[in-house]
Amino acid sequence: MTEEIVANNFIHEIIDEDLKSGKHTEVVTRFPPEPNGYLHIGHAKSICLNFGTAIKYNGRCNMRFDDTNPEKEEVEYVDSILEDIRWLGFDWGENLFFASDYFDRMYGYAVELIEKGLAYACRLTPEEFKGCRGIPTEPGKDSPFRDTTPEENLKIFENMKAGVYNDGEYVIRAKIDMASPNLHMRDPAIYRIKKADHHRTGDKWCIYPMYDFAHCIEDAIEGITHSICTLEFEVHRPLYDWILDNISIECHPRQYEFARLNLNYTVMSKRKLLQLIEEKYVNGWDDPRMPTVAGLRRRGYTAASIREFCKRIGVTKFESMSDIALLEHCVREELNVTSDRYMGVLDPIKVVIENYPENQEEILIGTNNPMDEKSATREIPFSRELYVERNDYMENPPNKFHRLGKPGKEVRLRYAYFIAFKEAIKDEDGNVIELRCTYDPETKGGNAPDERKVRGTIQWVSAKHAYDAEMRLYDRLFDCETPDINKDGKTFIDHLYKDSLKTLTAKVEPAAQKLGKTARIQFERTGYFYVDHIDSTENAPVFNQIVPLRSSWK
Ligand code: ATP
Ligand code: MG
């Protein structure tokens, strides 16, 4: 990776000052996913910001699993997350951590708070707990357990750890301020009982730290300098600071918040993505319509285009909605320069070149990538019977239609010849089934010796040489910009777009049959395609459309 990853932003200005003032001499960030799902494009923004910042300042970015919730976490997710981050182009080196490795220390810090009289065991039911918490404009009510002695609290905490109580029977709460206007400061829970096995610690623990208690400790243990998270954690920051101020830990990282990525036509919550999978609206986390990193990869997006997108949307403190068209633009822009071109016909109609001898065939030469001066070329077989796109023909075309349909009017077959339309053959029902044309042998390669011009150029394949390829055309998964917002009694499920996947059999030129898995190409005038790395086999590539081509060559 040679490019700049993140554009300069307010967090970098803070870092610049911290380095200048000597507050820090190195920059340490982290990416802390909870392993309860696959990564999505929103995570990619956070990954680019955290890893990109570390790269910019020659610091380090820790890869840390925030695995404090035993129930929803699975090893499959850990593996997929690491794979996706590597694929995105980032490297954590030796710095792979699990919050669960710190459980002993976290337990110790909770004991410390209890001993200091800054935490207590509370036996309120979850409903009572909520009821006591109150609303921002009115103070909450003290828990009746708030003044239990440290000795008594310690005993209860030990019993909690020993499995004496049931789930939910007790929680440990920080003793802060039941009148704080910030509800997160009203004696929040820091430890709870959860008799569940953990993917790394097994049955060692039946109590687990709450996110707010755990996260700042994880940051401090790892010596994080700038703990970057999304805006919804801004109101948690006083708690983050309170915990670190009240336990015996040297390091006190600072938390900075940025606006999360919201993308139109998309849902991003892991819970909703999981629902799409479980209810079989999509085929798993890597379905090419999913906004997951695995899905985008399977669709054919490059890591560089995702990084570029994340860079362009920028890092700010303002909530906004990004346009999925920008993501599409980024991959188009890259593939326009890098991808080889081939010819494929998605909706074929046969063309017979009447003046081309029946048994003749010849090889024409195509430039693979016209954007590359040193591009390789390929051989394209030509014969009397071809396929072209059905919509390159029009019965009774208007004058400005420069393709097939008007008798005598010529069109250029890309890299081949000028052909002139003669007539359309119909079946009994009146459907056009074949086009009859003639070619001009003097126009080989697609150029006329006499400078006569044709306005239209179309792609084609030789019927007997073409390969029948499976093509999967993907569209947006949802039919409206904000499927997340429940309105008119509709949920995001009601907004699934029914044509988000169309599968068809296309005719492609033989050279495209040899493409290996993961190749990214352009089918001329159609779009950018990816040779699916799972379903393709040798000499039988399956093509996923990454994005359609917006601007076609004429
Ligand atoms: P979800 O709410 O979908 O479960 P999450 O935020 O809980 O997502 P985590 O695994 O906790 O998921 O996220 C890991 C990191 O990625 C966090 O630092 C979080 O702030 C960041 N992140 C998650 N979603 C986005 C987003 N849409 N834009 C930017 N950063 C995000
Ligand atoms: Mg989270």
State whether 333 and 477 are in the same domain: yes
Query: Which range, of 71-85, 136-150, 293-307, averages the lowest pLDDT?
Result: 71-85
Active site residues: 34, 260, 270
Q: Does any domain span residue 396?
A: yes
* Residue closest to 125 by CA, chosen among 192, 187, 170: 170
57: confidence class by pLDDT, cuts 50, 70, 90 = very high
Q: Is the CB of 270 under 6 A from ligand 1?
A: yes
Q: What is the pLDDT of residue 553?
A: 37
pLDDT at 554 over 70: no
Are 416 and 381 in contact by the 8 Å Cβ rule? The answer is no
In a domain, 405, yes or no: yes
pLDDT digits (tens, 9 = 90+) for 231-289: 999 999 999 999 999 999 999 999 999 999 999 999 999 999 999 999 999 999 999 99
pLDDT band at 340 (very low <50, low <70, confident <90, very high): very high
The residue to which tokens 């609206």 are assigned: 281
Residue nearest to atom 29 of ligand 1 (CA): 260
Give the chain's mean pLDDT: 96
Cα dihedral 437, 438, 440, 443 in deg (nearest 10): 20
Q: What beta strand segments (E) does 339-455 contain?
A: 340-342, 344-345, 348-353, 361-367, 377-383, 385-389, 410-413, 418-426, 432-439
CATH of residue 146's domain is 3.90.800.10
- Looking at 173, 192, 210, which one is the last position of a domain? 210
Distance CA 201, CA 141 (A): 36
| Amino acid (1-letter code) at residue 407 | P
151 and 294 share one domain: no
Q: How confident is the model over 27-53, as pLDDT tens digits? A: 999 999 999 999 999 999 999 999 999
Q: Which residue has the tokens 């921002």?
A: 136
Ligand nearest to the CA of 234: 1
Q: Can you give the pLDDT at residue 488?
A: 82
- Domain membership of residue 300 (yes or no) is yes
Q: Pocket of ligand 1, candidates 6, 36, 39, 43: which has the most ligand atoms within 8 Å of its Cβ, to mutate?
A: 43
- Which residue lies with its CA nearest to atom 22 of ligand 1? 43
273: CA distance to ligand 2 center in Å? Answer: 14
Whether residues 363 and 449 share a domain: the answer is yes
What CATH number corresponds to the domain at position 413? 2.40.240.10
User: Is 294 found in the same domain as 355?
Assistant: no
Q: Give the other-Cβ count within 10 Å of 149's Cβ.
A: 11
C-alpha 470 to ligand 2 mean position (Å): 39
How sure is the predictor about 486, in pLDDT bands with cuts at 50, 70 and 90? confident
- Is there a single domain that holds both residue 195 and residue 294? no
Atom of ligand 1 minimally distant from the CA of 260: 28
| CATH code, 274 | 1.10.1160.10
Closest residue by CA, ligand 1 atom 26: 42
C-beta 32 within 6 A of ligand 1: yes
Which residue's alpha carbon is at the smallest distance from atom 3 of ligand 1? 269
Alpha-carbon gap, residue 268 to 290, rounded angstroms: 9
477 and 334 in one domain? yes
- Its domain, for residue 317, covers 262-338+471-508+515-554
d(CA 356, CA 210): 77
- My answer on whether 457 and 490 are in the same domain is no
Tell me, using a 6 A CB cutoff, whether residue 274 lines ligand 1.
no
pLDDT-derived band at 55, boundaries 50, 70, 90: very high
Residue at a domain's end among 179, 194, 210: 210
**What is the domain count for the chain?**
3
pTM here is: 0.95
Q: Provide the pLDDT for residue 73.
A: 72
| pLDDT tens digit sequence for 468-477 | 999 999 999 9
Do 401 and 370 have their domain in common? yes
| List of long-range contacts for 204-208, beta carbons under 8 Å, 24+ apart | 204/103, 205/70, 205/103, 205/161, 206/160, 206/161, 206/163, 207/107, 207/160, 207/161, 208/68, 208/69, 208/70, 208/103
Ligand 1 centroid from CA 492, angstroms: 19
Q: What is the per-residue pLDDT for 390? A: 98
**Residue carrying structure tokens 């982290």:** 30
Please check whether residues 369 and 431 belong to one and the same domain.
Answer: yes
- Does 440 share its domain with 456? yes
Give a yes or no: residue 479 inside a domain.
yes
Task: Render pLDDT for 158-196 as a digit per residue (tens, 0 to 9).
Answer: 999 999 999 999 999 999 999 999 999 999 999 999 999
Any domain includes 172: yes
Decide if 370 is inside a domain.
yes
Whether residue 129 is contained in a domain is answered as yes
Please tell me whether residues 439 and 292 are part of one structural domain. no
Q: Would 224 be classed as within a structural domain? A: no
> What does the pLDDT look like over 71-117, one tens digit per residue?
877 899 999 999 999 999 999 999 999 999 999 999 999 999 999 99
Q: Where are the alpha helices (H) located in 175-269, listed in sequence order?
A: 211-221, 237-246
Do residue 450 and residue 361 come from a single domain? yes
Q: ∠67-68-72 over CA atoms, to 5°?
A: 70
Instruction: With CA atoms as reference, report the closest residue to 364 among 345, 346, 343.
Output: 343
